[in-house]
Amino acid sequence: MTLNVLILGGTAEGRVLAERLASDGRFVTLLSFAGRTASLQRPQTPHRVGGFGGPEGLRTFLQRERFDALIDATHPFAAQMSANAVRAAHAAHVPLIRLARPAWRPQAGDRWTQVVTMADAAGAIGDAPRRVFLSVGRTEIAAFAAAPQHEYLIRAVDDFDPGLPRARVLAARGPFAFADELRLLRGEAIDVIVSKNSGSDATHAKLEAARSLGIPVIMVEQPALPPARLAHTLDEIVAWLNALHAAPVARREV
C-alpha cells in the first residue's frame, strides 16, 4: 500500500523532504508551491504551483485527490497558509504535521531590537535617515512607506518595484556566505538591518556579519500559528509517515 502525501512547500526543507520521499516506494508525494516567486526553481519531483482557494479549496483538493497525509513545510511567516492547512486537514480528516523551524536567538555581541510587526520594524529604524538593509521579502515592503527618509537596499529573489522613493533591489537567491555578506554590508555602508526571524541556515550569515561589524539588527519575530502536531527535523516527519504507513488508512471519499 502507498501513502499519498501532500507537502505544502516554500522552504528548502520541503524540497529536501520531497526528494527524500521520492526514493521510497511506500509514498506518492506532491510538492505544492504558492507561486509568489517568478523565478521558481522547479524540483525534479512531482509538484504543482498556485493557491487552493482558501481552506475550503484545500479541503476539496485533499479529498478529491485522496491524500492520506498533509505536511506543512511552508515558511514560518506563511501564517495564513498554515492556518488554512489546519482547518482543511481537520475538515477532511487528513493527518497533519508542521515542520517547526527553530527561530534564531541572539548571541553574545548581537545588537538586536526584537519587534512583532513590520510596522514596528519601520518605526524602530528611527527618525534620522539611515542606510537600511531590508531582508524581509517583497510582500512586506509596503510597511516601510511610513519611513521614506531612509535609503533601502532590498534583497529579494526577484527584481520588483518597491514603491519607495530611495530604494534599490538586489535580486539574489541564498544560501549566502559569511564573507559575501560581510563584503555587502561594508560596501553598502549599511547602518541597520531589518530581518524576519526565519530561522533559516541559508540566510543566517548576514547576522554573523552584522555581529562582526557591530551593525544593529531589527528582528521581526515569527508569528503565532494555530496548534498542530509539530516536527523539528525531517527525520521526525519521516518517522511520523512511517507510523502512518504501518497503520491501516481509510481511503477518503470524494
- Distance CA(251)–CA(4), nearest Å, equals 10
Which residues, in sequence order, are bridge partners of residue 134?
154, 194
pLDDT tens across 40-83, in order?
677 889 999 988 999 999 999 999 999 999 999 999 999 999 99
pLDDT at position 37? 65
Which residues, in sequence order, are bridge partners of residue 8?
32, 72
Phi and psi at residue 5, in whole multiples of 5°? Answer: -125, 130
Of all residues in the chain, what percent carry a pLDDT higher than 70? 95
Question: Residue 186: CB partners within 8 Å, gap ≥ 6?
Answer: 213
Residue 39 pLDDT greater than 90, yes or no: no
Residue 25 is given by DSSP the state T
pLDDT at position 254? 35
pLDDT at position 40? 67
- Distance CA(49)–CA(36), nearest Å, equals 9
Stretch among 118-127, 152-161, 185-194 having the lowest mean pLDDT: 152-161
Residue 28 pLDDT greater than 90, yes or no: yes
- Distance CA(123)–CA(134), nearest Å, equals 14
User: Using alpha carbons only, how large is the chain's radius of gyration in Å?
Assistant: 20
Categorize the per-residue pLDDT at 226 as very low, low, confident or very high, splitting at 50, 70 and 90: very high
Residue 26 pLDDT greater than 90, yes or no: yes
| Average pLDDT value over all residues in the chain | 93
Question: Residue 187: CB partners within 8 Å, gap ≥ 6?
Answer: none
pLDDT at position 253? 40
Categorize the per-residue pLDDT at 131 as very low, low, confident or very high, splitting at 50, 70 and 90: very high
pLDDT tens across 80-121, in order?
999 999 999 999 999 999 999 889 999 999 999 999 999 999
Residue 14 pLDDT greater than 50, yes or no: yes
Picking from 203, 171, 162, 136, the residue whose alpha carbon sits closest to that of residue 38 is: 171
List alpha helices for 23-97, DSSP H.
54-64, 79-92
pLDDT at position 101? 87
| C-alpha cell recorded at residue 230 | 509539530
Domains of the chain: 3-102+224-246 (3.40.50.720), 112-220 (3.40.50.720)
Across the chain, the runs of DSSP E, i.e. the strands, are: 3-8, 27-33, 47-49, 69-72, 96-99, 112-115, 131-135, 151-156, 167-171, 192-196, 217-220, 230-231
Question: Residue 198: CB partners within 8 Å, gap ≥ 6?
Answer: 75, 76, 77, 101, 104, 222
Mean pLDDT of 36-40: 64
Mean pLDDT of 18-23: 94
Categorize the per-residue pLDDT at 251 as very low, low, confident or very high, splitting at 50, 70 and 90: very low
Of all residues in the chain, what percent carry a pLDDT higher than 90? 83
Picking from 140, 161, 143, 164, the residue whose alpha carbon sits closest to that of residue 152 is: 164
Of the two residues 173 and 210, the one the predictor is more confident about is: 210
Say whether the peptide bond before residue 46 is cis (omega within 30 degrees of 0): no
